[in-house]
Amino acid sequence: MRERDLIAIKEAGQIGETIRRTRLFEIKEFAPMHYALLLILALLAVPATAQDLDKGKEINGTCAGCHGEYGAGGKKGEYPRIAGQRAAYIEHSLRSFRARTRINIPMFPYTQERELHDEDIRDVAAYLTSIELPTKWPEFKDTDDALARLTATEKVMIIPRVDGNLDNGKDIFQKQCASCHGKTAKGRGKFPMLVGQYTNYLMRQMEAYIRGERAHDEDNSRGILATLKPSDLQDILAYVTTLQDPQE
């Protein structure tokens, strides 16, 4: 074999050894990163733990004293409806009561950690969110007994229409309120559902925002409500009451 052939074979062997070492280095250095990435993706794919609705129902037994068994509120709006409300809003409200960033003296003792820890808050919020209150009277079958009829009618919640300029209320709501509360006033994220809520309760809250007794936005401002006239507030409420049943 000629000398140049021997040299070529030797160089080829050296190149092969370099490639082998490079691959070993890549495996040693990057394999842990690869496995870590796979682990992260696997953890993200695991569904969030479902809240305990039975526990939430049990906790709601305390809430029912004021807000009613089905969370429909009480005393014609002195206590607000909480059934069907957004879970994120309920959780945020309960934690705000606990921290006293939202002052509500009657609610304060019930929201302390020893009475209602964070997991309980999530459970009761999930339970209340799951409650549906129809806006139409049920149609019964002859086979429905008295208890079934009573239970069905107790869940019906129809907010009476109120006077106001519906066109003006719609214009203000859709331009100024819908971005947070949704076009049908069912809320978004931690911004509450307004439709189906007592109008006198909503008016009290709007007045509290305007007076600065309750922060409307996260920057503790009074929000858009401070720029509106009393008649505008009434018009908004009048419009919201028309949204209870979109099929109407």
Is the pLDDT at 81 greater than 90? The verdict is: yes
Helices 87-99 and 118-130: angle between axes, nearest 10 degrees:
140
- What is the rounded average pLDDT for all residues in the chain? 84
In a domain, 205, yes or no: yes
Domain boundary among 154, 189, 220: 154
In a domain, 248, yes or no: no
pLDDT for res 46:
44
Is the pLDDT at 183 greater than 80? The verdict is: yes
What distances in angstroms separate CA 66 from CA 61, 188, 190, 206, 235, one per listed residue? 10, 25, 23, 22, 29
Domain boundary among 97, 130, 154: 154
Mean pLDDT of 49-70: 93
Q: Where is average pLDDT lowest: 33-37, 59-63, 205-209?
A: 33-37
CATH number (domain holding residue 65): 1.10.760.10
Each residue of 19-59: pLDDT tens digit? 556 555 554 554 555 555 555 555 555 445 688 999 999 99
Q: Are residues 138 and 218 in the same domain?
A: no
For the chain, percent helix, then strand, then coil, each to nearest 5? 60, 0, 40
Banded pLDDT at 215 (limits 50, 70, 90): confident
In a domain, 12, yes or no: yes
State which residues form the domain around 33.
1-46
In a domain, 93, yes or no: yes
User: Cα(22)–Cα(202) distance, rounded to whole angstroms?
Assistant: 69
Q: Are residues 148 and 66 in the same domain?
A: yes
Q: Are residues 171 and 138 in the same domain?
A: no
Q: Are residues 40 and 58 in the same domain?
A: no
Domain boundary among 128, 154, 180: 154
In a domain, 185, yes or no: yes
Strand partners, 135: none
Q: Are residues 34 and 59 in the same domain?
A: no
Whether residue 132 contacts residue 98, with contact meaning beta carbons closer than 8 Å, is answered with no
Please count the residues of the chain. Answer: 248
In a domain, 222, yes or no: yes
Tokens representing 13 are 């062997």
Q: Are residues 59 and 150 in the same domain?
A: yes
Q: Are residues 178 and 140 in the same domain?
A: no
In a domain, 57, yes or no: yes
Q: Are residues 112 and 205 in the same domain?
A: no
In a domain, 160, yes or no: no
Q: Are residues 172 and 188 in the same domain?
A: yes
Q: Are residues 124 and 67 in the same domain?
A: yes
Q: Are residues 123 and 149 in the same domain?
A: yes
Q: Are residues 59 and 147 in the same domain?
A: yes
Q: How many domains does the chain have?
A: 3
Each residue of 115-164: pLDDT tens digit? 889 999 999 999 999 999 998 888 888 898 999 888 888 889 999 999 99
